[in-house]
Chain A
Amino acid sequence: MAALKVYKSSAFTYGWLTVASAIFFAPLVFVVSIALSSDQTVASGSFSLIPTEFQWDNFVRIFQTQQPVGNFVLNSVIISVFATVGQVFSSALVGYAFARLRAKGKNITFMIVLATMMIPAQITMIPQFILFKELGWINTFLPLIIPNFFGNAYNIFLIRQFVSRLPLEMDEAAMVDGLGYFGIFRRIVLPMMTPVLMAIAIFTLTFTWGDFMGPLIYINDDTKMPLALGVQLLTSTSQELQTPPWNLVMVGTVFLSLPMIIIYYFGQKYMYEMNITTGSAGVK
């Protein structure tokens, strides 16, 4: 009896999981299928769900279109890397101070940090645009990079929670040895922060890489666009009734998505580590 029950429940589980993961995975298979199809197939619109053609040269041809796809990729890399470096260092410094240093007014300041998390970005979007316009930063990467050098409430919160759980003994020993606050931060605390910093780096990288609205507001020149903004230009055609080169567009979406999947694959270790450490504050 008992054995039968287990068998039945696992058939149920496997059945549902197979159906669900097939549904979730199918669009990705379809993307690959379109990306590898020939121009004739695109023109007739007769794509198959499972790849039947393998036009690998689409992955080269995408760089030979009227759109500067090579620039798109390079711009995305530049913007994401600088944004991530800025975010990690500024949030680490601020988060450390909130976790370890004592000062009058610290708690109220921290409350303000938390409160800012609730403000939607759209509120500040227009004045920020005016500000960057006045600074002459329109059509540069600066509006997409520089704000990251001033920390972000959510990241600061994460770091503060993480550092609060680190043992104090090392700090105190270093202080006795005459290391200043910055020395303690850089030599003692920063190396111990690796998991949380990796997690924040992955967040920032993923957000910046995929951000659409920011570049849409600030970047006008094709050659300065990141991939997330540029890729949809591939769908625009010179003539009204022409079919967009869907195979190349899907190659673009592969370029846009694959780095995120790779980063997740190598970074999940840190993300799960964070799960455990913040878990006691969060989940339970």
Chain B
Amino acid sequence: MSVLQKPTSAPGPAPAREAPNPRKARPSAMRRKEARFFWLFISPWIIGFVVFLLGPMLASIYLSFTDWDSFTDPNWVGVANYVRLFTEDEIFHKSLWNTFYFAFFSVPLGMAIALFLAALLNKQMKGRKLFRTLVYLPHLVPIVAVALIFQMVLAPDSGPLNRFLAVFGIDGPAWLFESDWVKPAIILLSLWQAGGATVLLLAGMKGIPQEFYEAAEIDGASGIRQFWSITFPQLTPIIFFNLIMGIIGAFQVFAQVYILTQGGPDNASQMVVPLLFNEAFRNYRMGYASAISWVLFLIVMALTVLAFATSRKWVFYETEVKN
């Protein structure tokens, strides 16, 4: 998404409010007025929440138990949609597998690349800013443009990637046109944007106290040792946050698949959200598509919970030591 620092720790109450209230005790009429203004000011969010989120969510639960083409009245079918999803729909199974495959490779690989680049860039050196910009630029390119660019980059005969491979005598695959290579191709496309997290990691590295490195230097620790013993543990909260956001993002992959492959060849690149889109807006199976969206939601939730549950083992929060 951006270079902006995202929160990693669970937010508590606003710090200004945690301290004993600095304002003088006021008559309750004033407090009631303040409360009225609070609800007035947040009313846009409340309206948006009810109209665009809560209402649609409830409708979506209901729809997932119906058969509905969006033109006639919905037909209640109970859990039939879910049963079909898990037992019959092989394209759904395939798209689920493909999405896991994509997330499993693109998220950790992207993080490793971002971390490696950040480690290289975290030094006083000439041209640091230029290198940082070059690495970050792809992240600014909208995904539709990325898809169109990679359609050219990955072209089987004339594309620069295969011509580059040919220099080493490697006969490059037809990437988007081969069922064995289409998923790696889409992963490659997402890795091109991995530099986005580098800026975030660099900001985190700047916050690591210099004394740690000085102490390590005295103890004679090598650069690589310093990275794994100081830099990496200190960065785990950012890495953790990016991991979760990355997983959520990977499961929602859409435009690349829709523009480049339409799920092909032979559904080898079909993923959950493009499938959902097709069921809803091409085949007008709104009930079935709603059921897919809830399965997607549960998977994303489960993975997020898993990431949180395991984070205690490897995420290092400085505050845990300090306070």
**Chain A interface residues toward B at CB < 8 A:** 9-10, 13-14, 16-17, 20-21, 24-28, 30-31, 34, 45-47, 49, 90, 93-94, 96-104, 106-107, 109, 112-114, 116, 118-131, 133, 147, 149-151, 156-158, 160-161, 164-165, 168, 172, 181-182, 185, 199, 202-203, 206-207, 209-210, 212-213, 216-217, 228-229, 231-232, 235, 246, 249-250, 252-253, 256-257, 260-261, 264, 268, 271-272, 274-275, 278-279, 281-284
Contacts and interface: CB of A to CB of B under 8 A. Distances in A.
Given A93-B44, A253-B149, 19 more contacts: A17-B131, A27-B149, A94-B44, A98-B42, A102-B34, A104-B35, A119-B297, A120-B251, A121-B252, A122-B252, A123-B297, A129-B281, A150-B47, A199-B2, A206-B142, A212-B254, A257-B142, A282-B238, A283-B237
Given A25-B134, A231-B145, A257-B140, A125 B293 contact: yes
A126 B60 contact: yes
Given A235-B148, A271-B4, A27 B11 contact: no
A104 to B, nearest CB: 7
B34 A103 contact: yes
Contact of B204 (A123, A164, A252, A283): A283
Nearest to B248: A120
B220 interface: no
25 contacts: A13-B123, A21-B131, A28-B141, A31-B149, A96-B41, A103-B34, A103-B38, A122-B276, A122-B297, A126-B286, A127-B55, A130-B59, A149-B44, A150-B44, A156-B45, A168-B22, A212-B144, A216-B277, A228-B144, A231-B144, A246-B152, A250-B149, A252-B148, A282-B8, A282-B241
Q: Nearest 10 pairs between A and B by C-beta?
A: A150-B48, A210-B142, A127-B56, A97-B41, A103-B35, A21-B134, A164-B14, A124-B56, A103-B38, A127-B59
Contacts of B45: 90, 94, 113, 150-151, 156
Contacts of B55: 127, 131
B63 A274 contact: no
Interface residues of B, number: 104
Given A126-B63, A210-B142, A249 B38 contact: no
B23 interface: yes
Contact of B294 (A123, A182, A228, A253): A123
B5 A278 contact: yes
Given A13-B123, A274-B4, A282-B5, A28 B137 contact: yes
Interface string B7-24: 111010111110000110
A118 B48 contact: no
Main secondary structure of the interface of A (DSSP, over half): helix
Interface in B19-44: 22-23, 31, 34-35, 37-39, 41-42, 44
Most interface-central of A116, A160, A209 (chain B CB within 10 A) = A116
Interface in B243-296: 248, 251-252, 254-255, 258-259, 273, 276-277, 280-281, 286, 289-290, 293-294, 296
B14 A209 contact: no
B5 A151 contact: no
A199 B131 CA distance: 23
A283 B15 contact: no
Contacts of A100: 16
A272 B290 CA distance: 40
Interface stretch (B78-86, B97-105, B153-161, B173-181): B153-161
B317 to A, nearest CB: 8
Interface in B40-97: 41-42, 44-45, 47-49, 51-53, 55-57, 59-60, 63, 70
Given A120-B293, A212-B144, A279 B207 contact: yes
B59 A120 contact: no
B110 interface: no
A165 B16 contact: yes
A203 B2 contact: yes
B60 A24 contact: no
A72 B34 CA distance: 46
Given A172-B23, A282-B8, A283-B5, A213 B277 contact: yes
Contacts of B289: 126
